[in-house]
Amino acid sequence: MRVVLGEDLVLLRDGLIRLLEAYDFDVVEAVDSGPALLKALVDHRPDVAVVDVRLPPTFTDEGLRAAIEARKRVPGLPILVLSQYVEQLYARELLSDRGGAVGYLLKDRVSDVRQFVDAIRRVATGGTAMDPEVINQLLARGARDQPLTTLTPREREVLSLMAEGRSNGAIAARLFVTEKAVGKHIANIFGKLDLPLSEDDNRRVLAVLAYLDRV
Amino acid sequence: MTDHDLVRAARARLTQAALGLARAALCVAGLALIPLQLYAYPLILVTVGVPLLLLVTALARRYTGFFRRWASRVLEVDIPAPYRLPVNRGPMTRVRTIATDPATWRDLAFLPVNAIVGVLCGVLPAALWINGVLGFVYPVIWLDHGRVYYVAIGYDTPGNFVLAPLLGIGFLVLAWWATPRAARLHATVARKLLAPSTTAALTDRVRVLADSRADTVDAQAAELRRIERDLHDGAQARLVALGLSLGMAEELLSRDPKAAQELLAEARQTSTQALAELRHLVRGIHPPVLADRGLDGALRALALAHPLPVEVDLELAGRPEAPVESAAYFAVAETLTNVAKHSGATAAWVRVRHAGGRLSLMIGDDGRGGAEAAEGGGLRGIERRLAAFDGTLGIASPVGGPTIVTMELPCELSSVKTSSSSGTA
């Protein structure tokens, strides 16, 4: 799997390259600035890109802007954005083109290597990887939302794991239940939130995120 | 100008002239305050002077206050009252404050000057109007064999029957011209004497600056102490623990791989916690989103993270300087936190504009109201921090709500347009 990496801190860049290569990713280019990143993304059209939000020259949200711009030029280009902090505003911007194949994670999450690699693979295959903190903020905001309050605690757990972008299988494994049980919970959640239940995993995730973002 | 406009303008001038005449009377009456005040001082020795002086001073300040307000209306400028505030409410303190306040003596000097200028500026336009009208009245009296002189012309020359009305017109034109100017002249003189003197204004300014600087230094020192403590108890301690776990894992790796693995997992968890604490700390110092996106993005991000729906309405042609921007951000953030904690509101809004060299921020909610900047409260803290930038805070919060908090910060905007988060707000 071909990867473009955008990270300006040498320590972290080398660490990420080592990690990715250990899991058989092929890092085709590792760049350290916003403009170089945009060029690399458009030139290489990688299977997935891992991008730091804050990059030179401005050291603000250069990476995020490059990612959004690249996705405008190459629709559906899978990009996983890493950041030292999460902002719902940025999550919303990344999700706004409704194309999926995006991720937005705290940098801390790289320490759980398996989960992190999972997230990269998920984004590469058109899925979504949202940081639990984004989902927590969204759920906290939805505290007054009538349909959300009718969810059982278990259904809320399933909802947040699903919103993070996890597949039914992964949710089942995480909660120590069968996939069938997860499927039932999801059907209940979609019923209560009055959302159309789609067969496609990714589309379901995006529907849930759009719902949470609206309330 | 139509006839109707002319009539209305004439009526306005005549009213102005009549008011000027009335003011002249008031100016003369004001002279009575001089002996009253001067008599009160020696009487302080026999105690009755104390209430008398307080009463007379209150009266005199009302009197000058009237002229201050009138002059500020005529000249369309703000004329602040220059009086010192007593440090406490004790009668002797108040007497001492009054007696040592230069403004008291300036008020006293104002009275005779005001009497002279007021009478001149009041009587002159009125006399001109009356003379103008008489220019038309006298020929009629002459016809009736009245033997009176109009200005310097007599009843015995036939040509004067034409000359008198012409002179009258001249007087009317002059009256028309002089009426507003006389009022302005009077107001200008009043302002000179009643506005705080440059020294008083500067003294006042220095006091405000010294206060706000002391507050700023205090607040900054407290903030640094908090950051130091947070780092010491938080991230630093965790990094020590991390090193410990890693060292032990290294030690155990060959002998007891299972225990080493547990230690490594622990180390990873510790690093995550340390990062979370650092992140929290950084957000409190300078939120990254503020650096990235300016007030626009930062306030929208704030609104998104707020438990209540918050509507953000921001129109800025550029970005304020970084310190002002940061102060404005934290002021709004803290006010919104207050809204969530105390107001019982179901929704809030934020409005940001820049006009006349001032950044104005308004935060409103539909809660129960009754908010005030009590000592030690959150709003008082915001007020202090805004003061460091010459900013002000106003609260309109009747019991029962709604509450609107208004903040103003003088600042210029840099011309760079804030690259707005396109269509995502």
Cβ distance B305 to A88 less than 8 Å, yes or no, reads yes
Q: Are the CB atoms for B82 and B197 separated by under 8 Å? A: yes
Model pLDDT for residues B177-236, shown as the tens digit of each residue: 999 999 999 999 998 888 887 887 788 888 888 888 888 888 888 889 988 988 888 888
Among A60, A84, A92, A113, the residue to mutate for chain B (most B Cβ within 10 A): A60
In chain B, what percentage of residues exceed pLDDT 90?
32
Of B292, B304, B307, the CB nearest to A61: B292
Domains of chain B by residue range:
3-194, 199-285, 292-424
Please count the residue pairs, one from chain A and one from chain B, whose beta carbons lie less than 8 angstroms apart.
57
Is the backbone peptide bond immediately before B307 cis, with ω within 30 degrees of 0? no
Residue A39: per-residue pLDDT: 95
Write down the number of H helices and E strands in chain B.
12, 7
Residue with tokens 């936190």: B337
| Average pLDDT estimate for B336-357 | 91
Please indicate if any CB of chain A lies within 8 Å of the CB of B186.
no
Residue B419: per-residue pLDDT: 44
Residue B418: per-residue pLDDT: 45
Cβ distance B297 to A111 less than 8 Å, yes or no, reads no
CA distance A88 to A104: 10
Q: Are the CB atoms for B130 and B138 separated by under 8 Å? A: no
Of A87, A137, A143, the CB nearest to B289: A87
CA distance B196 to B80: 7
Question: Which pLDDT band, with edges at 50, 70 and 90, does B1 fall under?
Answer: low
Helix/strand/coil for A27: strand
Closest residue in chain B to residue A143, using alpha carbons only: B307
CA distance B36 to B34: 5
Residue A121: per-residue pLDDT: 95
Residue A6: per-residue pLDDT: 95
Contacts of B60 (CB under 8 A, 6+ apart): B33, B37, B107, B108
- How many angstroms away from the CA of B344 is the closest CA of chain A? 14
Instruction: From chain B, pick out residues whose CB is under 8 angstroms from the CB of A61.
Output: 292-293
Q: Is the model's pLDDT at A206 over the cut of 50?
A: yes
Specify the range with the lowest mean pLDDT, choosing from A139-148, B240-249, B287-296: A139-148
Q: What φ, ψ does residue B354 adopt, rounded to 5°?
A: -135, 125
Buried b vs exposed e over B305-341: b needs ≥16 C-beta within 10 Å? bbebebebebebeebbeeebbbbbbbbbbbbbebbbe
pTM tops 0.90: no
In chain A, what percentage of residues exceed pLDDT 70?
100
Angle (CA) A150 A151 A153, round 5°: 130
CA distance B385 to B373: 13
Question: Which pLDDT band, with edges at 50, 70 and 90, does B416 fall under?
Answer: low
Please indicate if any CB of chain A lies within 8 Å of the CB of B331.
no
Question: Which pLDDT band, with edges at 50, 70 and 90, does B425 fall under?
Answer: very low
Residue B76: per-residue pLDDT: 86
- How many angstroms away from the CA of B316 is the closest CA of chain A? 19
Cβ distance B304 to A54 less than 8 Å, yes or no, reads no
Of A60, A89, A108, the CB nearest to B421: A89
Q: Is the model's pLDDT at B420 over the cut of 50?
A: no
Q: Is the model's pLDDT at B70 over the cut of 50?
A: yes
Output A137-143 pairs: Cβ under 8 A, ≥24 positions apart: A137/A86, A137/A88, A137/B304, A137/B305, A138/A88, A138/A163, A138/A209, A138/A212, A138/A213, A139/A212, A140/B307, A141/A212, A141/A215, A141/B304, A141/B305, A141/B306, A141/B307, A142/A212, A142/A215, A143/B307
Q: Are the CB atoms for A109 and A131 separated by under 8 Å? A: yes
B105 or B407, greater pLDDT = B407
Model pLDDT for residues A52-100, shown as the tens digit of each residue: 999 988 888 999 999 999 999 999 999 999 998 888 889 988 988 888 8
In chain B, what percentage of residues exceed pLDDT 70?
97
Specify the range with the lowest mean pLDDT, choosing from A53-62, A145-154, B372-381: B372-381
Which of B129, B123, B122, B126 lies closest to B190 in space, CA to CA? B122
Q: Is the model's pLDDT at A149 over the cut of 90?
A: no
Instruction: From chain A, pick out residues whose CB is under 8 angstroms from the CB of B347.
Output: none
CA distance B170 to A207: 85
Q: Is the dihedral of CA B110, B112, B118, B120 positive or negative?
A: negative
Residue A18: per-residue pLDDT: 93
- How many angstroms away from the CA of A181 is the closest CA of chain B? 30
Tokens for B315?
Answer: 């129109």
| Average pLDDT estimate for B121-128 | 91
Cβ distance B304 to A137 less than 8 Å, yes or no, reads yes
Question: Which pLDDT band, with edges at 50, 70 and 90, does A1 fall under?
Answer: very high
Q: Is the model's pLDDT at B291 over the cut of 80?
A: yes
Q: Looking at the domain that runs over B199-285, which CATH code has it been given? A: 1.20.5
Please indicate if any CB of chain B lies within 8 Å of the CB of A136.
no
**Interface predicted TM-score of the whole assembly (ipTM), two decimals:** 0.80
B51 or A183, greater pLDDT = A183
Residue B2: per-residue pLDDT: 66
Residue B230: per-residue pLDDT: 86
Q: Looking at the domain that runs over B292-424, which CATH code has it been given? A: 3.30.565.10
Q: Are the CB atoms for B371 and B333 separated by under 8 Å? A: no
| Average pLDDT estimate for B308-321 | 91
Q: Is the model's pLDDT at B354 over the cut of 90?
A: yes
Residue with tokens 């789609």: A198
Cβ distance A108 to B272 less than 8 Å, yes or no, reads yes
Q: Quote the DSSP letter at residue B157.
A: -
Residue A140: per-residue pLDDT: 84
Please indicate if any CB of chain A lies within 8 Å of the CB of B300.
yes
Specify the range with the lowest mean pLDDT, choosing from A58-67, B101-110, B387-396: B101-110
Tell me, letter by letter, the H, E, C secondary structure of B208-238: HHHHHHHHHHHHHHHHHHHHHHHHHHHHHHH
In chain A, how long is the greatest CA-to-CA distance? Answer: 50
Question: Which pLDDT band, with edges at 50, 70 and 90, does B134 fall under?
Answer: confident
Please indicate if any CB of chain B lies within 8 Å of the CB of A11.
no
Beta bridge partners of B405: B363, B395
Of B272, B276, B304, the CB nearest to A89: B304
- How many angstroms away from the CA of A187 is the closest CA of chain B? 28
| Average pLDDT estimate for A206-210 | 87
Model pLDDT for residues B136-156, shown as the tens digit of each residue: 888 888 877 777 777 777 777
Please indicate if any CB of chain B lies within 8 Å of the CB of A61.
yes
Contacts of A114 (CB under 8 A, 6+ apart): none
Which helix or strand (DSSP H or E) is residue B49 part of? helix B49-75
Helix/strand/coil for B273: helix
CA distance B101 to B203: 12
